[in-house]
A and B are shown apart, each in its own frame.
Chain A
């Protein structure tokens, strides 16, 4: 009996031990954290693949170049040029932009760079995921890829315009991406055009009947028209603009006070607010109710440049006084606070620009009558008479002025226009004491030059 007892006990020990030892490797297996999915899983299903895409739109809205908060280009390039003056405390990041004294270690500039390439990475990751996916339908694949290509082109477009030569990133491999060199601007433009052309063929779906918050083929063409214009490919620019302008059932110029509303038919693409009832970040950045302004106010030169009859001067600008002094703020977006439903979204492309793109392209091609027609569309909508410009030079000057009045505080149009018209040094050295001729480009972020020697030299002047 005792022997049996001993054997039983020994068997028990053995069982316990083998349990422990067999479980060793499996002991270390852990489940995925609840907030993560493997990359393969994401692209097995349209809903999750779509979520990977919408998050890029949300990133563009909240971070980097196109965001409407005070770090975004609308505000900072307004300060950098002659649209906006900063107020508030010395810690206001707009001050260095206003003084044109950006340094290579400026955190906002580094943020533009890093956020932009992060958005590009997300687009590339999506493109690679879609291409590898076996479960998504062809139609879904086309649509998702088309939108991702548009995003890639869009972000590179802004990068090349503020940093000059930049790398054009089309893959996610960090080993290659960490050693890239700067690509000449002209090549960057070729890549942008290529991506946009692919996007246009892939994007079949038409969002324009809905809230116009995602990229469809018209959005891609709107950017392509602008890209051709910046690239001095005038016939192509005019063509792309016409392709949109001809869709009169979809897009029309709105009454001056309805341009920036959610359901404006002038909108080609806008960024939806994060919450239902939330309005634009631009409104919270620019609008102040009492003086002195908390962040920024409009430059008086700009305010004074509007003709008294210009509806934009009276509707898109608001004066705020404290009894002794008066300040002005941009009033394109009017809702600073939450409303029961969102009234305004952040608009990136609108029809007015397409008119002015075609006007400029036509003027360069010698079609002065056509140019004036397009220009007058915008002037008339603003309550102004037809332009008195006659010669090509006069018309181009008139277009530059018109763009100043039409697009002030909108995503850095003024800065890009002055550069394109070769007027930047002439105009800004008069109005900005800190302006240097090398300021037409931002400095390359210091951290970027340190970590990738292949990027070469800093931009001149920094």
Chain B
């Protein structure tokens, strides 16, 4: 990494370069470009229809060869009119079809049948952020899904749409409650900090911060605080590109280490104005329950535990001492998380325009209730507007996109999943005979008390982006991207006195309200200049630009306590005590210069150089700037003479890249030595406390990425395959180093000289199995093998990480005790005593490492079309290990998995589980604690899941101008796994697993 000061050395250079660039072209503005042919022949109106052989094609561009200014577009029925002379030649072009040159030869009706371009896949322009590149000519690793894949999925989160569809991209849903988050890791975990692995999100050119907008006191229903990504509506997305290797990400410099997610929203298409309406309805249920004990098994366990401990029932052992009915049985999972949520969704789009100006307006509404008891609902609505315009001479272009999205989320404050699994099966009924919550004389905490504790969030999100470009002269374009985002969220959580057992006699004077107001707005300006020049057989592409970005986050966390009535609870002014818990504004500023040099020789050899010099306000003086760069090369060997006319290889490319990227995801102001206000009063003074341990000397995390890939197409690309190998080494780790509590804090931000390596092999295969008029069948497979390894860590043995990581092992390991089994004599779990000191000690005996990263994962997608039927299904598969759901020792007043009936009872028993105890047998309690931290608690959690299935039928319509499609879609319909503790995808226990969703919808276009 180069750390020379930008101010001192680099600036003059850039300055000169810019001045040269600008001055040398400034005089060109005055010139006129309206110089076209003035040679006239008599003109006629030519008419015709354009088809693909079967159906008419709308939106096809027809132009006259010698006249740059006469262009028309076919209408919805494929018809066009253009004036041309009899000697002219028409150029007919349309994406996905071969360009046709049709001499008019004196005809007045010219019907054109366009041929499918079999190499179309290679012609698709891929968005690479600051530039776009033809699929065939890209040097970087970019995965992509389009609206075709997104629209068939009944999901609301943008990350959900990618699950199982992209190689190298591992996405895990963290809760099934609507509005919850997803974890994404692109090519593995690079940073030791779990929160430092988020990719950079860019929506239509505007960076979209994914840092949380939540507060842990309000969004208690979720395992993590609210993510702003929920504000993105998947239905407005045209394509999502994920940039993975150095070649693709280095131009994003310090923010590209964990990959870049580029989201492009839908744009209007020229032609007749079309309306599309897509209503759908559906329902969701929990995928999988745990198998728990019934009352008979449970009470037998409890009674045996008391017998084992040789103690009598105490007055608070209500389940066995006769206080509660011992014949009751409630399946609490069914009762508390077994509901069916109902989903409603409506999307409408209007799009159209002329050849020069196109527009798209869309609106959407989505609502989803809850599988929990009670009336909870998640609502999301939004609108999107897009405008494209080109000047008459095609030199000036404008793209304007704006989206507004509003979410209104209403959920219980706590997830019922934990209660559903741990409540004793003979616990009392939920409601008494009058329909009120039953507290059974204060002997239990009715789980439905939490229905009164509500979480509400309202999030509004506005994104606007404008790209202006002007072609100064052929090949030289100046461009500026101007973007703005504004997000505000209001979250509340109430804790009214009614959630307490009336036995505690808590009044509304103890009711409380937590409020989180978070606003985040950001702007970005990115002036750029690009130049394309044909140099003999080669083509040179140059790009230079700068980024100025600023982001301000304002947070106000408040709580109110003590109300005269619970009905006033949402009114902070009615609270007796209002506490401001945080009132803060943080600013993040970012500045960068970037460039790209691309040389493409004869469509055979391509070299791509990218670089960026970055500055960020997140670092202290002297550490603010750093330079990142990459080189990518590609050899399109199928364009070489020896393969050009091959009958079986239709496409072949070898590509490789190497470069550096960085990460500055450490939060703002971490380098300052400060005191913060506590908001808490003592002796008439609001306190000040040391904010954190002070360390000014930390800088960028760097990630060196290496990749090599082979792309092959066979038989006109009917079989298309990519194999890529990558190796990322992440060093200079920015870590909240866990510190011993004796330092006063439990962690410190600093750079750690550790190296993490991610290596992997990604494969994709796409086959066109059949392609007939009435029937077609396509299969796509993606498969990723990934290995994560801690390569070096100086002083690991004496560091706070000594019992967390091991050299040459993945970061995501678990150090565990080695389980030996249940001692047949004592009935207590036994573990390997590695250091032979006669007892199980930490850390000496807790040394077995278990890798919790998936060994491999991927997806298998099939798309079938039969006449007007379309069937699309995706299987997601993951090979992994995971922890069992910890349930505590068996015998206490808490339900257990039914498998725990296989317990030790008397000397000589050989069983899977140890004896029952109520908690008095401290040897058994300790052994159970060790068991949860031993290899016995880690099990195979591999699964194959029918992630998505979608069936649609195109209804026959009286006119071609109208189309109607009926769609049946499902998410997570089937799951095959050996994992016993609920849903296998899941890693956070005690939260609602992902839901199985089925929806029925229609799409009407006219």
Residues of A within 8 A of B (CB): 6, 9-10, 13-14, 17-18, 20-21, 24-25, 27-39, 42, 47-48, 50-52, 54-59, 61-62, 87-90, 95-96, 99-101, 103-105, 110, 113-114, 116-118, 120-122, 124-125, 167, 169, 172, 174, 177-180, 213-214, 272, 274-275, 277-278, 288-292, 294, 322, 325, 337-338, 433-434, 436, 445-453, 455, 458
Contacts and interface: CB of A to CB of B under 8 A. Distances in A.
Q: Which of A9, A27, A125, A451 has the most CB of B within 10 A?
A: A451
B565 to A, nearest CB: 15
Nearest to A29: B617
A52 B689 contact: yes
A51 B674 contact: no
Contacts of A292: 315-316, 442-443, 503
A289 B503 CA distance: 7
Q: Which of B503, B673, B797, B802 has the most CB of A within 10 A?
A: B503
7 contacts: A20-B546, A21-B11, A34-B584, A95-B919, A289-B504, A338-B576, A450-B803
B784 to A, nearest CB: 32
Nearest to B315: A325
B106 interface: no
Contacts of A33: 584-587, 668-669
Interface in B477-528: 501-505, 507, 509-510
Given A34-B583, A55-B689, A450-B800, A62 B742 contact: no
Interface string B875-915: 00000000000000000111000000000000000000000
Contacts of B548: 27
Contacts of B691: 36
Given A177-B744, A288-B504, A450-B803, A213 B683 contact: yes
A34 B586 CA distance: 8
Contact of B841 (A6, A55, A433, A458): A458
B742 A39 contact: no
Nearest to B27: A6
A452 B688 CA distance: 29
Contact of B745 (A87, A118, A337): A118
B798 A338 contact: no
A90 B893 contact: yes
Contacts of B583: 34-35
Given A28-B616, A28-B624, A57-B683, A9 B26 contact: yes
A44 B681 CA distance: 21
A180 B624 CA distance: 33
What 10 pairs between A and B have smallest CB-CB spacing? A121-B744, A55-B687, A451-B800, A452-B740, A114-B741, A450-B803, A58-B682, A54-B682, A36-B674, A289-B505
B14 interface: yes
Contacts of B23: 10, 13-14
Given A20-B546, A294-B504, A434-B922, A52 B675 contact: yes
Contacts of A289: 503-505
Given A35-B676, A52-B689, A451-B739, A172 B841 contact: no
Contacts of B88: none
B672 interface: yes
B926 interface: yes
Could you say which interface size class chain B belongs to?
35 or more
Contact of A178 (B311, B743, B919): B743
Contacts of B678: 55, 58
B625 to A, nearest CB: 9
B680 interface: yes
Contacts of B14: 21
Interface string B555-587: 000000010000000000000110000111111
Interface string B676-697: 1110111101111111011000
Contacts of B585: 33-34
A51 B686 contact: yes
A101 B925 contact: yes
Contacts of B802: 450-451, 453
A338 B799 CA distance: 48
Given A34-B585, A57-B682, A448-B742, 17 more contacts: A21-B14, A24-B615, A25-B6, A25-B7, A48-B675, A55-B680, A88-B316, A90-B893, A118-B744, A290-B442, A290-B503, A292-B443, A294-B503, A337-B509, A447-B746, A451-B740, A452-B742
A90 B688 contact: no
Q: Which of A21, A288, A325 has the most CB of B within 10 A?
A: A21
A446 B842 contact: yes
A36 B672 contact: yes
Contacts of A27: 548, 589, 591, 615
B690 A39 contact: yes
B473 interface: no
B744 A37 contact: no
A94 to B, nearest CB: 12
A446 B842 CA distance: 8
A398 to B, nearest CB: 33
Interface string B655-681: 000000000000011001111111011
A28 B503 contact: no
B957 interface: no
B7 A174 contact: no
Interface string B358-398: 00000000000000000000000000000000000000000
Given A6-B27, A272-B683, A37 B920 contact: no
B26 A449 contact: no
Nearest to A114: B741
Interface string B1-45: 000001100010011001100110011000000000000000000
A215 B62 CA distance: 89
A337 B576 CA distance: 12
A338 B442 contact: no
Nearest to B815: A450
A36 B669 contact: yes
B922 A449 contact: no
Contacts of A31: 587
B673 to A, nearest CB: 5
A256 to B, nearest CB: 26
Nearest to A294: B504
B388 to A, nearest CB: 28
Contact of B15 (A17, A87, A325, A434): A17
A236 B536 CA distance: 99
B445 interface: yes
Given A39-B674, A325-B315, A445-B741, A51 B11 contact: no
Contacts of A338: 509, 562, 576
B289 interface: no
Nearest to B314: A85
B843 interface: yes
A177 B15 contact: no
B131 interface: no
